[in-house]
Structure 1
């Protein structure tokens, strides 16, 4: 029986890409670089901020451009109201029901911790997440299992008592590298090949289907 449920953040709990698109394109325009479409950005998601910026800059990617552009993007994003970023429907209800049934809840993401916690404090203030492991510049990011391993160790549960809920190949590889089960959601930013990946237990259409594992 599962005791710990680890969620990815972007594309799994939160629909957050549109504010990312606005800030990235605003930064690209500032440097007279070509802007990108929403669909192009979705194809770049999953890695850490440096990985994504390298893809966004394309032919304009250099170490100097990457660092300067990253600071500009983060300044734009952190100062924006992020009014387009909201939890997916039924996410809060699902988390609350899992919590009421004694399931340990955690988040593992390549988004920075402070950013995750800002959204959690705003939308999920009544959810007691056992641990939030975002991207830490001092440690490897997903799909490396560093963050997941920390969560599992602190929860003191066995690997077969953990399930990872995500939306993309990065999440699948993270779960596989950690040796834990993985369920993929279809409402996020993944693609059909992710849903059909042989490592995935199930690709679900509704949050309520998570309860089957508890």
Structure 2
């Protein structure tokens, strides 16, 4: 590990874990309750990064501010909460990355916009994430990403300078937050890239198409 990296922070969904099957399952379960057929998984997966807003928007064609949106969003979240860890798992190729960080005593942590209502049980239920040094959720600080506050809070709790941290994420908001916090940023090309997203335009310090590329960059950059 290069000497100027003192900590690595990760986004959760789409970066460390593959939660898309359970989120898509919640959307289709809610559609079934409304007498609608299931949508193909490959159609739902790209919307995971947009959270409940994106999933409900695709599943029911409604947007925030519309009459039915809040009720559908709340029902979707309740459905998801009831089945958080059916298929969700840590990306297999991320396991060696976490192992190297552990072996080299490099602190790592998680900064997610996922509400603690969901993030805490998910992280607690995945043993591979047990060594995370910090977990900052979407409601931990007054602001969520792309505001830098969650990342700055993570660095503070790890007692590491933000400039000595790397933040890895699969959404433009991740890169914007990392840059605003003064951290180096890595765009995770294996994540839930939204439809029409151009990862090259995000302004990340590095684009990793795979966790193996990320590990090589951490070790050789």
The correspondence for 2:101, drawn from 98, 104, 128, is: 98
1:142 Cα offset (Å): 1.8
The Cα offsets for residues 19-64 of structure 1, whole Å up to 9 and x where unpaired, read as 1111112223324578644344334333454565456543475465
3-state SS of 2:179 partner: helix
1:193 aligns with 198
CA separation in 2, counterparts of 1:148 and 1:137?
11
Residues 26-35 or 112-121, more deviating: 26-35
Paired residues, number: 213
1:175 Cα offset (Å): 1.4
Asked if 1:112 corresponds to 2:115, the answer is: yes
CA separation in 1, counterparts of 2:140 and 2:156?
21
The Cα offsets for residues 49-103 of structure 1, whole Å up to 9 and x where unpaired, read as 4565456543475465233222211221121263221111132232122022121
TM-score relative to the length of structure 1: 0.83
Q: Residues 42 and 178 (structure 1 numbering): CA distance in 2 closer, same or farther, change over 3 Å?
A: farther
2:178 aligns with 175
Q: Residues 78 and 156 (structure 1 numbering): CA distance in 2 closer, same or farther, change over 3 Å?
A: same
1:9 Cα offset (Å): 0.8
1:41 aligns with 44
The Cα offsets for residues 142-165 of structure 1, whole Å up to 9 and x where unpaired, read as 222221121122223223201011
2:33 aligns with 30
3-state SS of 1:45 partner: helix
Cα pair 1:164 1:183 within 8 Å, conserved: yes
TM-score relative to the length of structure 2: 0.80
Cα pair 1:4 1:105 within 8 Å, conserved: yes
1:137 Cα offset (Å): 8.1
CA separation in 2, counterparts of 1:70 and 1:61?
9
2:137 aligns with 134
1:202 aligns with 206
The Cα offsets for residues 107-154 of structure 1, whole Å up to 9 and x where unpaired, read as 111212243332333323573212101121873322222211211222
Cα pair 2:141 2:149 within 8 Å, conserved: no
CA separation in 2, counterparts of 1:92 and 1:81?
20
RMSD: 2.8
More strand by share: 1
Cα pair 2:11 2:168 within 8 Å, conserved: yes
